[in-house]
Amino acid sequence: MTATVEAARATTGNAVRPVRFHQVGKAFGTGKKSVVALEGVDLAVETGEFVCLLGASGCGKTTLLNLVAGLDQPTTGRIELGSSRPAVVFQEAALMPWLTAAGNVELPLRLAGVPKAQRRAKAAELLELVRLGGLGDKRPHELSGGMRQRVALARALASTTDNTGSGAGKPSLLLMDEPFSALDAITRDVLQGELLRIWQATGTAILFVTHDVREAVRLGRRVVLLSSRPGRVVREWEVAGLAGAAEAAAVEEINAELRKVISSHAAA
């Protein structure tokens, strides 16, 4: 397990990392009433790596993603962003209800000023990638929850694979904030498989937030456990290529650690 990590690290060497945290802290409010959401977080995501951030509620997972996405600013420390603008997939698909599926995928390209013909082609290609080719004319309300989340994924990919502007040549980064937690079990299972396929097809780095250990182990190459209030990195596991008994053991071990983190709050 450790050997493969070393190998992977060695090949990337000192190349640009999509994102790197340097002792990042985030507090909401000031003075006595302030709530510390994150404290001293050190974390790096390698190019093309799939990292799962795991933690119970209140561990600042979402805050962390918001910091990377630029929707919020850290209070202390800094975030080094080597990627093109990070793409975000939220828990809800949050598609624009007045646009068709294709229109939604085109939106980030439109905001970036990509010409119409190019936009069309890119949107069609991305919808094909999430297996929604031919459904580009549908409105969000005509699609199921899983299909909507796939459109949201295609839209996020459209915003990250824009190689025309300042993002040219930089590694891409996809941020996902519990994107499948609102879906039913079968759809979730299928979409997890789809996400792995798309990750392999696009080679983008993914930072995936979840509270589901099984999901984290299945999807991630690396699982990072955060503690709650304040969020700190507790431990990391390499889970790439685990299957069968080894996978079950990893889930068991991470689960135990997560329970330990949670029960430590009962004492306090």
Partner 1 sequence: MPPLDLKDGSVEAGLDALDTPVNAPEGNLLRRIAARALPPIGAIVLGIVIWQVLWAAAFWPEFKLPAPIAVWNLIWELISTGKIFELFWTSVHRAVIGFAISLLIAVPLGLAIANIQVVRRGIGPLVSGLQSLPSVAWVPAAILWFGLNDSAIYWVVLLGAVPSIANGLVSGLDQVPPILPRVGKALGAGRIGGIRHILLPAALPGFLGGLKQGWAFSWRSLMAAELIATSPDLGEGLGQYLHNGMSLSDISMVFAGILLIFVVGVGIELLVFRPLENSVLKARGLTASAR
194 makes contact with partner 1 (CB under 8 A) = yes
Q: Does 126 bind partner 1 (CB under 8 A)?
A: no
Rounded (5°) CA angle 241-196-100 = 175
Q: Shortest approach of partner 1 to residue 190 CB, angstroms?
A: 5
Taking the complex as a whole, the smallest distance from the CB of residue 52 to partner 1 amounts, in Å, to: 12
Distances (CA, A) of 102 to 134, 145, 146, 153, 221: 10, 16, 16, 12, 31
97 near partner 1, judged by CB under 8 A = yes
Minimum CB distance to partner 1 smaller for 23 or for 134: 134
Answer yes or no whether residue 116 interacts with partner 1 by CB under 8 A: no
- Give me the 38-67 binding string for partner 1, x by CB under 8 A, dash otherwise: ------------------------------
Q: Is residue 190 within the footprint of partner 1 (CB under 8 A)?
A: yes
36 touches partner 1 by CB under 8 A? no
Whether 183 contacts 142, CB under 8 Å: no
Residues 116-123: contacts with CB within 8 Å, 24+ apart?
122/158, 122/161, 123/154, 123/158
- Closer CB to partner 1, residue 122 or residue 232? 122
Question: Using CB under 8 A as the criterion, what x/- string covers residues 170-189 for binding partner 1?
Answer: ----------------xx--
**Measured between alpha carbons, how far is residue 172 from residues 16, 85, 101, 154, 251 in Å?**
11, 8, 23, 14, 29
